[in-house]
Amino acid sequence: MGKMIRCAVIGTGRIGSSLETDRLREKPASHAGAISRGQDTVLVAGADPDADNLAAFGRQWRLPASALFRDSGEMLDAVKPDIAHIAADTESHVPLLLLALERKVPVIVLEKPVGSTLAEAHSALEAVERAEKAGTSRVVVNHERRFAADYRRAREYIRSGELGELLSANGILHMGMTKPPAQVLWHDGTHLVDVLSFLIGPWDVTGSIGDPESTTDGFLVLGKGTGPVSVTIDASPGRDHLAFELDLGLSRGRIRVGNGIWEIWRSEPSRYYENFRSLALIEGKPGRGFGKTGYFSGMMAHAVALFRNPALPGESTFRDGLRALELLDAAISGATPKD
């Protein structure tokens, strides 16, 4: 093992730290958790203007008071981390990113979405590209499904051609009863549209239906990928449950992947009808997930790899994060209200 990589977390709340206490979530489930479980990473500091969050962070990870900062710039100057994790509120993502770039932090892990607006995210692109070209900083966006074993296996199936040609990708994103689609899409929808790009390649929004600010109306996003691939995303309110899933239709099969979902279906001679073919489940089980996916630890391993070798290609870049916001902005701003 080489020298331990020193990591710091900016934003010590939910995704930064406290999700690690969720007994049901796969671990690690937070930035601090991923750092603490890494074989070659060590958590050296945290920053947060919220004194209560910061104190809880210090207790949870057994950090001394000297490692806890109310000011992020002060922390970066004092600690000079090898990797800085930006896990603060969305409105702070771009200002904190620019601060870390200015301080030449070698690797910056940035929470999604990469900006509170598309214009704000675009405004940071030049600084990110300048730093990466100069070799002073690399940016990893925490669209963690790119690093999860289930989505990576789904992509292998698509690329192998074992299940035929990809024809459709249908997504479901439900986040409770009253959150308007615009809010759901901008925050959790970044994961869905980004992992669609990861799985199917380039695609564009062709339209959307519904009021993105309504807390009662349904909302549907329509899209088009390469060749015959059609895309739909249902981001409607009015559900009392969380749902995040993709249903991928292929010419000789089907893939269902999402939160608690992992099913691979293949076309075979039907057991139900003569002279027909039906789908048969060949991997996974309805009602069961994939098992341990390593989503957060995979992201952390990539950040470590970039620190050790800055020339490596990025697997979840700022441009990837920006593209997700471009798709979401097109869906939200171009919506056609229902009659």
Number of domains in the chain: 2
Residue with tokens 């002279």: 275
Q: What's the CA gap between 339 and 337, in Å, rounded?
A: 6
Mean pLDDT (whole number) for 155-170? 98
Residues 42 and 158 in one domain: no
Residues 54 and 84 in one domain: yes
Residue 210 has what pLDDT?
Answer: 96
Q: Is residue 173 part of a domain?
A: yes
Residues 172 and 189 in one domain: yes
Residue 3 has what pLDDT?
Answer: 86
H-state helical runs in the chain: 31-37, 51-61, 72-79, 93-102, 118-134, 149-160, 181-187, 189-200, 295-308, 318-333
Ordered strands of the 230-234 beta sheet: 277-284, 261-269, 253-258, 242-250, 166-175, 230-234, 220-225, 203-209, 335-336
Q: Is 70 exceeded by the pLDDT of residue 172?
A: yes
Phi-psi sector, 246: left (phi>0), alpha (psi -120 to 50), beta: beta
Residue 103 burial (CB count, 10 A): 18
Q: Is residue 186 part of a domain?
A: yes
Using DSSP, state whether 275 is helix, strand or coil: coil
Q: Is 90 exceeded by the pLDDT of residue 52?
A: yes
Residue 336 has what pLDDT?
Answer: 86
Q: What's the CA gap between 27 and 84, in Å, rounded?
A: 20
Residues 130 and 163 in one domain: no
Q: Is residue 321 part of a domain?
A: no
What does the pLDDT look like over 241-251, one tens digit per residue?
A: 999 999 999 99
Percent of the chain at pLDDT > 70 equals 99
Residue 334 has what pLDDT?
Answer: 92
SS3 content of the chain, % helix, strand, coil (to 5): 40, 25, 35
Domain containing residue 202: 149-289+327-336
Q: What's the CA gap between 315 and 146, in Å, rounded?
A: 8
Residue 287 has what pLDDT?
Answer: 86
Q: Across all residues in the chain, what is the average pLDDT?
A: 97
Percent of the chain at pLDDT > 90 equals 97
Residues 97 and 229 in one domain: no
Residue 339 has what pLDDT?
Answer: 62
Mean pLDDT (whole number) for 104-123? 98
Mean pLDDT (whole number) for 50-70? 97
Residues 132 and 15 in one domain: yes
Q: What's the CA gap between 336 and 339, in Å, rounded?
A: 9
Residue 2 has what pLDDT?
Answer: 64
Residues 127 and 213 in one domain: no
Residue 207 has what pLDDT?
Answer: 97
Mean pLDDT (whole number) for 77-104? 98
Phi, psi of 83, deg, nearest 5:
-130, 130
Q: Is residue 313 part of a domain?
A: no
Q: The whole model's pTM is what?
A: 0.96
Q: Is 60 exceeded by the pLDDT of residue 1?
A: no
Residues 141 and 154 in one domain: no
For residue 167, what is the domain's CATH number? 3.30.360.10
For residue 16, what is the domain's CATH number? 3.40.50.720
Q: Is residue 23 part of a domain?
A: yes
Residues 153 and 123 in one domain: no
Residues 158 and 283 in one domain: yes
Residues 6+ apart with CB under 8 A from 214: 180, 181, 237
Q: Is residue 322 part of a domain?
A: no
Residues 207 and 278 in one domain: yes
Which of 336, 338, 335, 318 lies closest to 121 in space, CA to CA?
318
Q: Is residue 317 part of a domain?
A: no
Residues 16 and 125 in one domain: yes
Mean pLDDT (whole number) for 97-105? 98
Q: Is residue 314 part of a domain?
A: no
